[in-house]
Amino acid sequence: MIDGIYHVTFSSNSNDFGAGIVVFKGNSVNGGDHGYFYTGTKSGQDGEFNSTLTIKQWNSSVQSVFGPAKELVLEVNGTSSVDNSFVAHGHITDQPQAKITIRGQHLSAAA
């Protein structure tokens, strides 16, 4: 996966969905949407990656794709494609039944 700014869409197994922006730079992941911001780390090679993301609410009128939550931690595994897109699947740490799918498309290089 190349570093840069990505548009992401995500959906949970509770049939909720959302969208946001994520910046991958080195091993860092940062981003957000209209209710939450995301910070974390990424590792991997050969088009496959693992990431641990902390998701924190900044807008109390917005719920996460998992329902009401002020903060949660996600563990995700993904693969990137030659068209600079990716698909990742994961779950809330210690809650493997709370699943999420994240799809991303590269928009631009990061500063």
Over residues 24-80, the pLDDT tens digits come to 999 999 999 999 999 999 999 889 999 999 999 999 999 888 888 899 999 999 999
Q: What is the pTM of this model?
A: 0.91
Fold of 4-108: Lipocalin (2.40.128)
Least confident of 51-60, 63-72, 81-90, 97-106: 63-72
DSSP string, 9-59: EEEETTS-EEEEEEEEETTEEEEE-SSEEEEEEEEEETTEEEEEEEEEES-
Confidence of residue 111 (pLDDT cuts 50, 70, 90): confident
Measure the CA–CA gap between 27 and 45, rounded to whole angstroms.
Answer: 11
Higher pLDDT, 99 or 67: 99
Other CB atoms within a 10 A radius of the CB of residue 65 amount to 21
